[in-house]
Structure formats: structure tokens, C-alpha cells
Amino acid sequence: MARNYGTAKLKNHISGNAPGTLGAMGKLFDVSAEDFNKALQGDQTVITRIADMARLSETAKANLPKALEAYRKIIETTGDVNQAYAELVQLTQKHGTQTLKAINSSKIGEQRFKNEMTEMQAEHVNATTAEATRHAQRSSLIQIAGATADLMAIAKYEADLIKASNKLPEAQDAADRAYETAVTTALWTNGSEAKTDRIPKPNYSRTAGISRVGQWFRNFMGI
């Protein structure tokens, strides 16, 4: 309940001389010169509102240093953290491509290494197989060459036997001369002790067959 002071009043010289400043006070701080005058006159409604604002201000002022320090830390740390993230982004952008290229190059090199190892192993197997095949073929050719040489020798021998069988008279004469020479040589060497009876005297005829001629031919030719 407002009290009645009759016609009494306190002279205010400032409101008329600085109305703009006092008006700005109300807009900036939510307290007006009019409410100030009412509170001075005991207006309980205004006093209650102003008292609440004063208590709030007292609590805020008590907590202000710590709250300000906390906010300062939060803001500064948030800035530092985001700056750090920004640097991480820049570093990732700067070195990420380089790292990915290195990874891809390593993967390609690894695959190339595996491929080369596989190729080398295949080449070794192929070379070993080729060498084994070459050796087998060469051995077969050597065996064939040997067999061919044997066959050619046999063919030549048989041809020579046929030629010899066609020349029995000449062969008999040559054998007789060889026999006489052998006997004479034995006599010159051993005289009466010469065993001339051990020197066989060949006696060939066409009916003896190629085998006997062949035997004579081998003896005569030293085969």
C-alpha cells in the first residue's frame, strides 16, 4: 500500500537536463528513472522487482569471476581444439594423397613381386622340363645314332661279305699266301721248334656260305 506524503516532493533537477541518458539507462539496463522514484517512495511492487534484480546481481557478481574464467577456458579450449582439428584436416589433406599413393604403390609392387615370383617359378619349371626333354631327346638321338652306326656297320659288313663271297678264288689265293708267310715267319723265328701245325690253313669254297666267308673276312681284315 502506497503511503500518502501529501504535497511533499523531492526536487529532481537531473531528469530534465539529461532525459536521453536516463532513457538509455532504461533500455540498456532495464531500470528506469521512474521506477527509481517509485522505489524511493516505497512502491512495493517496484521495490520487489528491483530487490530481485539486486539479489540476482549479487549472486551473479559472486559467481562472475569463476563463471568468466570457466567460459574463458571453454571458449579458448574450443578455439584451440577446433584449430587443432583444422590443422589435422590440413595435414591429412596435405599428406593423405602422398600416403594413399605410397599404399597403392606398395600394393602394386607387392602384386608385381608375387607375379614375378610366379613367373620365375613357371620359367624354372618350363626350363627344367625343357632341359629334361632336351636331355631325353638328345639321349634318344645318341642311342639312335649308335644304333644307326651299328646298323650301318652291319650293313657294310654284310655287303663286304657278299663282295668277298663273290671273290672266293682271289680270297683263297690271298689266304694261301698269308698261310705261307705265317709258316715262313714261324720257321725263321723258331726253326725246328716252330709249331707250324698250329697254323690253320684256310680252305674256302663257295658252298661254305656267307658265315664262313664272314669269319675269314674278319680274321683277314683284323676285325
Q: Give the DSSP per-residue string, 98-154.
A: HHHHHHHHHHHHHHHHHHHHHHHHHHHHHHHHHHHHHHHHHHHHHHHHHHHHHHHHH
State pLDDT tens for residues 189-210: 787 777 888 888 777 654 444 4
**Cell matching residue 135:** 636331355
Dist CA 204 CA 167 (whole Å): 11
Per-residue pLDDT reduced to its tens digit, 179-194: 888 888 887 878 777 7
Q: 33: buried, middle or exposed (CB in 10 Å: 19+, 13-18, 0-12)?
A: middle
- Regarding predicted confidence, which is higher, 189 or 68? 68
Residue 33 in this model has a pLDDT that exceeds 60: yes
- pLDDT for the residue numbered 193: 78
pLDDT tens digits for range 123-178 = 888 888 888 888 877 776 676 565 445 545 555 656 666 665 666 677 678 878 88
- From residue 23, give the alpha-carbon distance in Å to each of 12, 33, 35, 50, 114: 15, 8, 12, 17, 86
Q: Is 70 exceeded by the pLDDT of residue 75?
A: yes
First to last CA, the chain: 164
Contacts 24+ apart (CB under 8 A), 158-161: 158/210, 160/217, 161/210, 161/213, 161/214, 161/217
User: Buried (b) or exposed (e) across 203-222, using 16+ Cβ within 10 A?
Assistant: ebeeeeeeebbbebbeeeee
Q: What is the mean pLDDT of the chain?
A: 81
Based on C-alpha coordinates, what's the Rg of the chain? 69
Helix (H, G, I), strand (E, B) or coil at 165: helix
- What percent of the chain clears pLDDT 70, i.e. is strictly above it? 77
Please choose, from the candidates 199, 200, 197, 202, the residue with its C-alpha nearest in 3D space to the C-alpha of residue 171.
202
Q: What is the pLDDT of residue 27?
A: 94
pLDDT at position 10: 87
Q: Which amino acid is at 1?
A: M
pTM of the model: 0.42
